[in-house]
Chain A
Amino acid sequence: MTRAIRAALVAVTATLLPAASPADTIKVGVVAPFSGPFAIYGKQYQEAVETYVAQHGTSAGEHEIEFIYKDVGGPNPDQSRALAQELLIRDQVDYLAGFTFTPNALAVGPLIEQSQTPTVIFNAATSSINKESEFYLRTSYTLWQVSAPLAEWAYDQGMRTVATTVTDYGPGIDAENAFKAAFEAKGGEVVDAIRMPLSTTDFTPFIQRVRDAAPDAVFTFLPGGPPTFTYTKTYNENGLAEAGIKFLGTAETEEVNLQGLGDAAIGLTTAYHYSGAHDSDENRAFQAKLTELFPDAIANWASVGAYDGTHLIYQMVAAAGTDGPGAVEAAKTLEWESPRGPVKMDPETRTLIQNVYIREVARDEATGQLVNRETGVIATVGDLGWDK
């Protein structure tokens, strides 16, 4: 009898205990733009995080995970730092995540160094960020990572002369340098390197200049949104495609704005680490869950960066809980199958080593939508800009 009661008691306590004692909750602070012109990125991060949580539950190892979102508005390093401080001190978060813009990511470096907080960058793509602190980890890409392989691929395809047109700011200059270095190393020639003002709305003069120079291809880097739209239109309307000057880009045909570009986008060639049309079970499962939860959502670099970032956080929490240095150590050897393909954390640069795909915009026969069709995998590449 007593034995039976004791057994019953043990059984009851065993089931009750985890619920009764306050669960060990690990908090993750996500700093991203949720208002203003870049609000869509914050929204996409949150949707991707929630998709991951819906697929994998709210606990990692023995810990519960909770996400706290903070709106940084836009490229605003001061605000980014203030929010990170608030998250670390008042909300007692153990991990930070998000960061769309390089200055916002850089601004929290001294903080995470002091508090030993692993910080997962969902986008900011300047190579040098991760040099600032051991606690930065990145699940997006760097401009060198996609631009240099594109240059080599272009040379291998028989293109010998290229004009570069990049927007005159940090990432644009990174992209120009990467492309130029890789293309010239192969033996190609950059015939004209144009840096376009950030405020440019009419690209005709630059495009016309390229046309007059008549290179084999034009490589471009633009900030997302409206410039992409006018640039690709101008590229077509001024007859560069007809003149045989191939379009080479990176994120210009990203999925959220792709339908807006219309037929003008068909045939544009880009090199990038993710395509919404990537043919794999992981990608299909990710997109199915994403659109089940958020019917209007479109998967692109922002969602996949956040999705893999969440995966990374779950793995770190499972391995090391609240121990920051331990979590970073555990992350350094991780590899997994992401919706973008196989990925691996580079222990030195703490940026993903991943495939870079050559994509060409095409109209999908089944859905009638424009997609970035993958026509080739270049290589599994790490952050090529690390020692530049």
Chain B
Amino acid sequence: MTLFLNILVDGVAYGMILFMISVGLSVTMGLMRVVNLAHGGFALLGGTFAHWFAAELGLPFWPALVLAVTLTVALSLPLERVIYRRIYGFTDLQQVLATIGLTFLMIASVNLWQGSSLLPVPLPEGLKATVDLGFRTLPAHRLMVIAAGLAVVLGLWWLLERTRFGIRLRAAVDNRGTASAHGINTDRIFMAAFGLGAGLAALGGVLGAEILPIDAYYPLRYMVLFLIVVAVGGMGSIAGSFLAAIGLGLLETAARYLAPDFATILFFALVMALLALRPNGLIVRAQ
């Protein structure tokens, strides 16, 4: 019973971190139809800025987090204007090559600026504490990440399904010409959505840094993980990404408890089986 509860708690906590980092990719890759392999790069930038603000400039954790996310978004907007706008029109392969090139640029820049060692983001005392769940203890920051993940999934659902911005974004993605003809400024909508994706990546990078620590090679190290979550979830589906992240988190955690030697093989075998059954992911967005 304790084992089951352990798997449940750790799996959800791990899954929520996967979700936090991947959901931005689901936004840019699924909604905007751009194969954005530079997604992890924005998480890296967010984490690096947070490290810089908190560890080097001595700001407390929360202001550092806010500034890091803001700065990443601020960088992503001109990037979208100058580079991504061209990338939208590329074929899939060209998009992959262009965005992976951007990833290398980001890695090299961080490497030059901060070196290739770990870039820790110091947590406030409150988050470092452990919380007693009765049958075991859990670090407080995991609970905070779970709460933040829930907030993000609700916020995104509301933003995309219930606001003008969401309606316009979906219209712009489905048929850009018609949307423009209806007076929607599609350029601005795309820019905002891209900034949103980058901001979510940065947020996930900083909040997830306790499990996926930030260093210059972060984007390449975890690229496969992010892509798996989006692929299993179904591109562009926030709910799908959420289910996939929690499911994969639980699955991998269970494998690690029960059969650590085979955890990786089991994980990939199940992902392959799932994709064979549902090639478009758990939840496919209605076209």
A-to-B contact residues, CB < 8 Å: 36-37, 39-40, 168, 194-202, 204-206, 208-209, 212, 225-226, 229-230, 233, 237-239, 256-257, 260-262, 296
Contacts and interface: CB of A to CB of B under 8 A. Distances in A.
B122 A206 contact: no
B59 interface: no
Looking at A39, A201, A206, A209, which has the most chain B CB atoms within 10 Å of its CB?
A201
A241 to B, nearest CB: 11
B262 to A, nearest CB: 9
B117 A202 contact: no
A243 B106 CA distance: 42
B257 interface: yes
B247 interface: no
Contacts, number: 94
Interface in B4-29: 6-7, 10, 13-14, 17
Contact of A197 (B6, B130, B264): B264
Given A197-B260, A237-B139, A239-B137, A37 B213 contact: no
A208 B6 contact: yes
Given A40-B115, A256-B117, 20 more contacts: A39-B116, A40-B117, A196-B260, A197-B260, A197-B263, A198-B264, A201-B225, A202-B17, A202-B253, A204-B14, A205-B10, A208-B136, A226-B212, A226-B215, A229-B213, A237-B139, A238-B136, A238-B139, A257-B117, A261-B120
A281 B110 CA distance: 36
B217 A37 contact: yes
Contact of B221 (A202, A226, A296): A226
A233 B215 contact: no
Interface in B128-142: 128, 130, 136-137, 139
B256 interface: yes
A261 B118 CA distance: 9
Nearest to A37: B217
A36 B216 CA distance: 10
28 contacts: A39-B116, A40-B115, A40-B116, A168-B261, A194-B260, A195-B261, A196-B263, A197-B256, A197-B260, A201-B211, A201-B225, A204-B14, A205-B260, A208-B10, A208-B136, A208-B257, A225-B118, A226-B118, A226-B212, A226-B213, A230-B210, A230-B213, A237-B128, A237-B130, A238-B136, A239-B130, A257-B117, A262-B122
Contacts of B136: 208, 238
B246 interface: no
Interface in B94-120: 111, 115-120
Nearest to B51: A260
Contacts of B137: 237-239
A256 to B, nearest CB: 5
